[in-house]
Amino acid sequence: MTYYKIFYEAVNQVCGDKAPRILMAFGPKIEATDKKGGNYNTLQELAVWLLVQSNILNRVHWNVDTNFSHELLNEAYDLCRDTGDALAEKYVGRTNQKVDAPFPASKDQIDVDRKDILAMLKNLRDHMADACKKNPGFSEGIKNIFADFDDKIDVIIYKFSRFHD
> What is residue 156's predicted lDDT score, i.e. its pLDDT?
96
> What is residue 163's predicted lDDT score, i.e. its pLDDT?
86
Q: pLDDT per residue over 53-101, tens digit each?
A: 998 899 899 988 899 999 999 999 999 999 999 999 998 998 888 887 6
Q: pLDDT per residue over 124-144, tens digit each?
A: 999 999 999 998 888 999 999
Whole-angstrom Cα distance, residue 130 to residue 143? 12
R_g of the chain computed on alpha carbons: 16
Q: Give the domains, in start order, of the chain with CATH numbers.
A: 3-162 (1.20.1260.10)
147 pLDDT more than 90: yes
> What is residue 154's predicted lDDT score, i.e. its pLDDT?
96
| 3-state SS assignment for residue 105 | coil
> What is residue 104's predicted lDDT score, i.e. its pLDDT?
59
Burial 7-46 (b: 16+ CB within 10 A, else e): bbeebbeeeeeebbbebbeebbebbbeeeebebbebbbbb
Closest CA to 55 of 22, 71, 72, 78: 78
